[in-house]
Amino acid sequence: MSGAREKRDPLARKRLRHVPPGARSRAMHALSARAAQGRLVMQACSDCDKVTYPPRDACPACWGELGWREQPAGAQVLCETTVRVSTDPYFRDHMPWRMGKVQMDAGPVALVHLHAALHPGDRAHVRAMVDRGGNAALFAIPEGAIDLMSDPQWREFVVPVAGRIALVSDARNAIGRAVVRELQTAGAELVVAGLPGPALASDAYDAVYALDRVQTIALDVTDPVSVAEAASRIGGPLDIVVNTARHVRTGGMSAGNALVEQRRALEVSAMGLSRLAATFAPILAGRPNGAFVDVLSSAALAGDAGNAGFAAAEAARLSLLQAFRHEMRGTGVRVLSVFTGPVDDSDHQHAPPPKVPPVRIAGAIAEALANGREETCVGDVAADAMMRWLADPSLYVREKNL
């Protein structure tokens, strides 16, 4: 049941998809930005160490400066309710809704979305999720292993793959091939594997494309006609788009420059994303758990003298992705970024280890979907790049080019 795709009476009036109320304070947005990375943070006072929630602008104990700190997820359920009446359109569509109050081990109390199995007195694990409107929401789940997907409230915060239809934009490259396999294994009803031209005679015998519930389709993200035709050929509902297209080439600006390659990289990374987004966004917006996943390089974070065109293209991609994410907020479609460093594939023969095996990227995508996480770094290079960039962007640009 948890994996069932929403099927509709074709004669029924189109269902309007609402999102939860979206207004938040600046401090709460800071919490959301961290929740988007899968981190549970609350503010702690730099003077007295008191942890505070909801987010404030001054410590309520000593008026000291507050900073964001990772917090333990443990909590105890204090009380519960099942909301059966709401004036909010989103929650009206999802009644009844269980919520409760927990005492966080970190100190504060918090209102939370309450997993169906939790009751007052129970120990719980609090996860900072991102709601359908893109804002952080605390979700209390039971401790230990549990089938989260069977909880309909949980499913509102994640992107189920089982029983869904997914498109992989470039299933010819190593990442895309791994993603096709991963989604197929995760129980997708259908994985549409996009193959950019030219078609190869060997495609017909390829083990990945020959998998059960996998279908190939000609799709070149640099070609608006191809993208439009792919969309019309897919025709029916599409729940998830994973954009794996990329064009990795080395080259600087003055030395070894290759404007054709730079342009190509921009066409694939930036314009390709735009074309996919423009074409598939309306389809995803009509689905109950629509998601767009983009695999991009951590090269997007800083200019790179040795890979100027690629880094620039990925930077443009990151910018477009951010715009797309916020554009889709009102539709409930999740836009997830998965950052990777150099991949262990033919594009990165020049790069020294560590390199990320494509299968690991595929696993990270599945995990990002399963957690509805907006921002994921796969592999040490991407995680390290993100950490350093967040800490000091100008230093990171220098270090990256040493």
Partner 1 sequence: MSTTPALLSDLAVAIAGGSIEIVDLTNVLSSDFPVIVLPSEFGQCEPFRIETVSRYDGNGPAWYWNNISMNEHTGTHFDAPAHWITGKDVPNGTVDAVAPRDFFHPAVVVDISAQAAEDEDFVVTRAFLEEWENANGPIPPRHWVLLRSDWSKKVGTVSYLNLREDGAHSPGPDAGAMRFLVHERDCVGLGVETVGTDAGQASHFDEPLPAHSILHGNGRFGLQCLTNLDQLPTFGAMIVAMPLKIKGGSGSPLRVAAMVPKA
Partner 2 sequence: MTRRQAPYDGVVVCAPVTVPYRRFSAEPAHWWAGRALRQLRDEAGLTPADIDGFCFASFSSGPDTAVGLTQHLGLCPRWLDHIPTGGASGVMALRRAARAVQCGDAELVVCLAADTNQIDSFRHSLSGFSRFSQDAVYPYGFGGPNATFALITDAYMREYGVTRAEFGKLCVAQRANAGSNPVALQRKPLSMEAYMAARPIADPVHLFDCVMPCAGAEAFIVTTPERAEQLKLPMAQVLATIERHNAFAEDPVQLRGGWVLDIDQLWEAARITPTDVDTLQVYDDYPVIVAMQIEDLGFCPKGEVARFIRETDFTIEGNLPLNTNGGQLSAGQAGAAGGFQNMTEGLRQILHRPLGAQVPQAKIAAVSGFGLVNFDRGVCTGAALLEALP
Residues that bind partner 1 (CB under 8 A): 197-204, 218, 220, 222-226, 258, 260-261, 264
Amino acid identity for residue 67 in this structure: G
Torsion angle in degrees (nearest 10) through CA of 113, 117, 123, 127: -40
Which does residue 396 bind out of partner 1, partner 2, none, counting CB within 5 to 8 angstroms by kind? Answer: none
The Cα 310–Cα 97 span in angstroms is 46
Nearer to partner 2, 95 or 204 (CB): 95
Instruction: Give the end-to-end CA distance of the chain in Å, rounded to a whole number.
Output: 54
Whole-angstrom Cα distance, residue 127 to residue 142? 11
Name the minimum Å distance from CB 20 to partner 2.
Answer: 6
Q: Which of 221, 224, 260 is nearest to 241 (CA)?
A: 221
* Closest separation in Å from C-beta 53 to partner 2: 7
- Binder of residue 187, out of partner 1, partner 2, none (CB less than 5 to 8 A by kind): none
Find out whether 106 and 49 touch, Cβ atoms under 8 Å. no
CA dist 382 and 339 (Å) reads 6
**Phi, psi for 358 (deg, rounded to 5):** -50, -35
User: Among partner 2, partner 1, none, what does residue 203 contact (CB within 5–8 Å per kind)?
Assistant: partner 1
Pairing of strands 123-130, 97-104: unpaired
Question: Minimum distance from CB of 290 to partner 2 (Å)?
Answer: 20
> For binding to partner 2 (CB under 8 A), which residues are involved?
20-21, 23-25, 27-28, 53-55, 60, 78-88, 90-91, 97-101, 103, 109-113, 120, 131, 133, 135, 137
Q: Report how far residue 335's alpha carbon sits from residue 324's, in angstroms, rounded to the nearest whole number.
A: 7
Q: Which does 185 bind (CB under 5 to 8 A by kind): partner 2, partner 1, none?
A: none
Handedness of CA 295, 299, 302, 303 (dihedral sign): negative
Task: Give the shortest CB-132-to-partner 2 separation in angstroms.
Answer: 10
The one of partner 1, partner 2, none whose footprint includes residue 226, by CB under 5 to 8 A per kind, is partner 1
Task: Pick the closer one to partner 2 by CB: 75 or 315.
Answer: 75
Closest distance between partner 2 and the C-beta of residue 79, in Å?
Answer: 4
Partner from partner 1, partner 2, none contacting 68, C-beta within 5 to 8 A by type: none
- Rank residues 144 and 198 by Cβ distance to partner 1 and give the closer one: 198
Shortest Å distance, C-beta 342 to partner 2? 39
Report how far apart, in Å, the C-alpha atoms of 308 and of each of 256, 258, 401 are. 10, 10, 11
